[in-house]
Structure 1
Amino acid sequence: MAKPLVSDEVWAVVAPLLPSRPPRPKGGRPPVDDRAALTGILSVLRSGIPWEMPPREMGRGSGMTYWRRLRDWQATGVWEKLHRVLLDRLGETNAIDWSRAALDSSRVPAKRGP
């Protein structure tokens, strides 16, 4: 059996960062589970396939569903928060090689004067 793209350990980090889903008073088709959506997003990004062509093994959800979830999570800052959490975890274990880091003034204002 293939190793899942979203392990329980990864999901435990990502799940608290995701926004809650609003209730659907009119019913309709239930939304794709967040973990399945994350698996679909990672599958498309990892393989480079078009959003319209997710593998059938993915199960529920279309490529457009995954793309919309990616867009929505980007708009709510999920990816930035996840990036921060992962950097913090790596920093706690001294697993970041700062000799390969680079800063520029697009993220950090340049210091003026002597």
Structure 2
Amino acid sequence: MVRTWAPDDLWDIAEPLIPTPPRRHQGGGRRRTDDRAVLAAIVYLTQAGCSW
């Protein structure tokens, strides 16, 4: 489903604009969500007309 809403062409444009995550030396905390999945969710919401 991620590749449907964030195809390779769009991902190639968006990927350089996303900052690199800071390195956590101590570990712990929540695991970071996949950036491409977040982009796909944003595109889905804008295309489907869903409200936030």
1:92-111 aligned within 5 A: none
1:78-89 aligned within 5 A: none
TM-score, with structure 2 as normaliser: 0.73
State which drifts further: 5-14 or 24-33: 24-33
CA distance in structure 1 between the partners assigned to 2:20 and 2:30 by the alignment? 17
CA distance in structure 2 between the partners assigned to 1:48 and 1:27 by the alignment? 36
1:1-114 aligned within 5 A: 4-24=4-24, 25-51=26-52
RMSD: 2.0
Amino acid at match of 1:21: P
Segments of 5+ residues of structure 2 without an aligned counterpart are: none
Q: Give the greater-gyration-radius structure (CA).
A: 1
Amino acid at match of 2:37: A
Amino acid at match of 2:38: A
Segments of 5+ residues of structure 1 without an aligned counterpart are: 52-114
Q: Secondary structure at the match of 2:4?
A: coil
**Structure 1 residue 35: Cα displacement:** 0.4
Segments of 4+ moved more than 4 angstroms: none
TM-score, with structure 1 as normaliser: 0.38
